[in-house]
Structure 1
Amino acid sequence: MKTRIFDPTRREVLTGLGAGFAASAAGLMAGGAAPLVTAQLALQARPATLVLTPGQPATPIWELAAVSHLGNVRLKRGDRCEVVFRNELPVPLAPVWYGLNGPTAADPLRGRAPTAPDATETSIISITNAGTLLADFRLFEDGLKHPARPLPIIAAESDRVAVDRDVVLLIEEWRVRQDGTALPPGREPKDTTPLYTINGQPSFELSTSAGERLRLRFINGSQRSVLAIKLENHDVRMIALDGQPAEPFPARNGALVLAPGARADAVVDAATSAPFLLHDGKEARRVGSLTISGERARERRAPMLQPLPSNDLPEKLDLKGAMRFDVALGAPEAGWIRPASFSTGSAPAFRAKAGRTIALALKNPAPVTTVFHLHGHHFRLLDKLDDGWKPYWLDTLAIEPGQTQRIAFAATSPGRWLMESVATDWAAPRLVRWYAVE
């Protein structure tokens, strides 16, 4: 009998698939002191409601909420965070942390079995890198009865970043029925209307003073759509992608294009009231606004925007000595399967030696754009001639129909890690495979 990915044996749990918890437990059993916990976070998976359509009843949803925090969850790079997770929903679930690298990342293949309904689990998560993270249980979407909301998490840099305000903008996509209820993804969306929110609001308003420097953390919390978001009449400068610093560069035409699950940090000097415009590939719509109120924050700004501190990813990758693999996205014959049916007994997409550079040729054979997400590592997007890479790191990539994109990463995190593939079609299933770094 195969061991399912989300139902590890007692022996697997105790021997350390959850690296952060296992390290702490091993220290205690050996008689030593456990590493110091520097932060605490209480999470709940719970039912909730959200008003999506004016004049309609609130829509039932499920959400991952931080009951220990008022406002955004803010941790620091280097924290060892004790996470207490309570599952108030009727299906087994576990939060998955997107954007964390290293052996202590909370990846389902390395963690415990999902938490049963009406149960509580405690674990230790090491915040190995600063950046915009996302905690999410929607990997378990086959069991979700309602659409669900993820939880943004800010892992702050060790040094203060010179901005006046730090704002999270979680963009979400909904498919709303005529009665005001919303359809979970993975189902045929007939007789529904697409609707988009920022921070749970169909019309989001951000109020600020003229001249304020804003760090805007855009998160595409939708599950199927590649979205473009634009703040009209402003110079938008990118400083991080998928939680990793980038050399500051201007957004093309002031617009950010984000695959589902992708994150982008931008800096904007507020100049004038302006709308946030969102484009879903079919039409542009106004989803919010920046409203200038009060007096100018200051008269002059330093023209140079400094890069964020490094998260210590390698400056160079050894492409000549790279281990190379071809990965066809979403193909059942290639081993892609729904998470609920996944087994650790299945063949990995590839096995790699720790410390080596891994180069993947990601082919999308589907007739629609497909989104790829890599757990455990960030990657460079390679140039078409495979002789260099784009000057930023990613963990999520949208690949157009029939196209092949090449990526590379340094295999620094030994273990078994998930890869995700999902077509940009609301009815398409989320699929997974795994890879090994040994």
Structure 2
Amino acid sequence: MDRRQFLKSSSALLTLGAMPNILLATPSEGFDYELIVAPADVRIAPDGNTPAWCFNGHFPAPVIRAKQHQPVRIRVVNKLAEPTTIHWHGLRIPIAMDGVPFLSQAPIMPGETFDYEFTPPDAGTFWYHPHMNSVEQLGKGLVGAFIVDEAEDPGFDADVVMGLKNWHIRDDGSFTALTTPRNAFRMGTPGRLMTVNGKVAPTYYIPTGGAIRARLVNIDNTLTYNIRGDGSDLTIVTVDGNPIATPRPLQQHLMGPGMRLDLGFIAPDEADQIVTLYHKHEVLVRFKTVGESKQRRALPRLPLNPIPTPDLDNAETIQFAFEWDASINPVKKDGKVNYRFWTINRKAWDGMSAKHIPEPLARLEQGKTYIFELANLTQYHHPIHLHGHTFTVLDSNKQRIEPFHTDTVLLGQNETARIAFVADNPGRWMYHCHVIEHLKTGLMGYIEVS
């Protein structure tokens, strides 16, 4: 959308962020949305198309918007030549809707459909992606934002959704290696082209003097973004889909793969002014003010999500150590190496099938509070994600923590953090690092709540 189109747009469009190159998912008969998973050529690189895998033939993927406490029905149609599923990252939903093959549902085979239906209890910024052949399916583009709007509109003047992804592509659009053993053993294989909604350093138009909500979603396989900004007083209002009790100024914020960050700010009170967000010193996105000033002076306040309060006095503590696997990697029957570089409590995830479900890392009692002590005994970052629950980060041996709610905690080198949650959602829930090459080479397991 160019500046002239923006100025002609309605206020309803402003609430969607006036975003160039991004779509809302479309309804289907009997469903709120239909997602078609299929190959599609998309233009990301400067000199040629990329043979991506997409939702509804487009990248960025359609933004799904649901409403807190209201049911949403989504039909997924698989037109790939391989099975897939869809996981709704960060959403506290029933296990049958979690989208993990064999653990919670049968894979969606080529030509088949699967209908997801659930009622989001929490408002915030979430996302969706497959949980099969993850390096390739996510790496080639099957990643999208899922927004759950508050039960009552908080009253921002613009709501901008931004998916951050480094593409593994050359200038001509062809793919480079999505993974290599050398990099999977370390921090993961980096992409070459850093994009926001499939564009390099795009500029989005925002209302002059308006209250802006900027939603950042790290949909990358590998990269931890170091977010900072200038041009306005930027405030962190939510972390990983959960509003924080006391919004705080943005100085810098690390976002591992799978993590989200909502920033609020009052746009400059004059037209043609710029607010910029950076990854380290590299421009991610610019916002430019247009139109007459809305003269907002304060940001709307977001209500906290209804997260169960952990009973810390009666909690059971379980320790988890994330380490390298020093064993010799096994060779499959076809002669290919079955790389296993990472472990949780000295066990590497070896996959599962309809006939083989490994033992859980822990068995939890429904309704009971647990404290997980997470020890990263490596020199690399690990964003540790738990399905089906929202936990409270209590403290860390490396940084001062103001307790906050999340579904993914970023552990730095040799960092130990404690998290607490009420095991209130029965089922077998995946529990893994969200650096995709790490989970694919061992750093994954599940917990069982019963």
Report deviation, 1:267.
1.0
Query: Which residue among 39, 46, 54 is the counterpart of 2:38?
Result: 46
CA apart distance, 1:72: 3.0
More off after superposition, 325-334 vs 285-294:
325-334
Please say if 1:94 is aligned against 2:85.
yes
1:253-292, aligned counterparts within 5 Å? 253=251, 255-271=252-268, 272-279=273-280, 284-292=281-289
Q: RMSD in angstroms over aligned alpha carbons?
A: 3.2
The 5 A counterparts of 1:23-422 are: 40-54=32-46, 56-65=47-56, 72-103=63-94, 105-108=97-100, 111-137=104-130, 139-141=132-134, 144=137, 147-177=140-170, 179-183=172-176, 185-187=178-180, 194-253=192-251, 255-271=252-268, 272-279=273-280, 284-298=281-295, 300-301=296-297, 303=298, 305-314=299-308, 316-329=309-322, 330-331=342-343, 334-337=346-349, 339=351, 345-384=357-396, 390-422=402-434
Conserved 8 A contact 1:147-1:183: no
Cα offset for 1:384? Answer: 4.0
CA 79–308 in structure 1, closer or farther in 2 if over 3 Å, else same = same
Question: Are the aligned partners of 2:139 and 2:220 in contact in 1 as well (CA < 8 Å)?
Answer: no
Q: Does the CA contact (< 8 Å) of 2:135 and 2:178 recur in 1?
A: no
Q: How far apart in 2 are the matches of 1:427 and 1:194? A: 22
Which TM-score applies when normalising by structure 2? 0.78
Q: What per-residue deviation string (whole Å, max 9, x for no partner) do you get for residues 361-415 of structure 1?
A: 1112223112211101111111248xx9734201111211222111111111111
Q: In 1, distance between residues paired with 2:355 and 2:384?
A: 20
Taking a change above 3 Å as real, the CA distance of residues 343 and 250 of structure 1, as seen in their structure-2 partners, is: farther
Q: Which amino acid aligns with 1:296?
A: S
Partner of 1:30: none
> Distance in 2 between the 1:150 and 1:422 partners?
13
1:44 maps to a residue whose letter is: I
Q: Whole-Å Cα distance in 1 between the matches of residues 207 and 434 of structure 2?
A: 41
Question: Contact (CA 8 Å) 1:244, 1:311: kept in 2 or not?
Answer: yes
C-alpha contact (below 8 Å) 1:237/1:267 kept by paired residues: yes
Whole-Å separation in 2 of the counterparts to 1:343 and 1:118: 23
Q: Report which stretch shifted further, 414-423 or 261-270.
A: 414-423
Specify the alignment match of 1:6 in structure 2: none
Ranges in structure 2 where 5+ consecutive residues have no aligned partner? 1-28, 184-188, 323-341
Query: Alpha-carbon deviations, 1:309-348, whole Å to 9, x = none?
Result: 232113x422221111111224166333155669763221
Relative distance call for 1:424 and 1:115 in structure 2 (3 A) is closer
Is this contact kept in 2: 1:49–1:60, CA < 8 A? Answer: yes
Partner of 2:327: none
Deviation at 1:192, TM superposition (A): 7.8
AA partner of residue 52 (structure 1): I
**CA deviation after TM superposition for structure 1 residue 422, in Å:** 4.7
Shift of 1:209: 2.6
SS in 2 for 1:208: strand
The offset of 1:430, in angstroms, is 6.7
TM-aligned CA deviation for residue 295 of structure 1: 2.1
Report the alpha carbon displacement of residue 256 of structure 1 after superposing the two structures with TM.
Answer: 3.2
- The secondary structure found in structure 1 opposite 2:145 is strand
Distance 1:278 1:217 in 2: 15
Give deviations 1:131-170, integer Å, cap 9, x for gaps.
1121111553256496223110111111111211111011
Structure 1, unpaired ranges of 5+: 1-36
Aligned partners of 1:427, 1:174: CA distance in 2, in Å?
19
Report the secondary structure of 1:320's partner residue. Answer: helix
Question: Structure 2 vs 1, CA of residues 65 and 129 (structure 1 numbering), >3 Å: closer, same or farther?
Answer: farther
Q: Cα gap change, 1:275/1:346 in structure 2, threshold over 3 Å: closer, same or farther?
A: same
Shift in alpha-carbon separation, 1:65–1:259, aligned structure 2, 3 A: farther
Indicate if the aligned counterparts of 2:163 and 2:196 stay in contact, CA closer than 8 A: yes
Displacement of 1:121: 2.0
Letter in 2 for 1:199: N
SS at match of 1:317: coil
Task: Please say if residues 93 and 118 of structure 2, whose CA atoms lie closer than 8 Å, have aligned partners that are also in contact.
Answer: no
CA contact (8 A) 1:246 1:307 kept: no
Structure-2 separation of matches of 1:197 and 1:372: 24
Matching residue of 2:10: none
CA distances 1:48-84 after superposition (whole Å, capped 9, x unpaired): 2333332x111221123499x9963211012222221
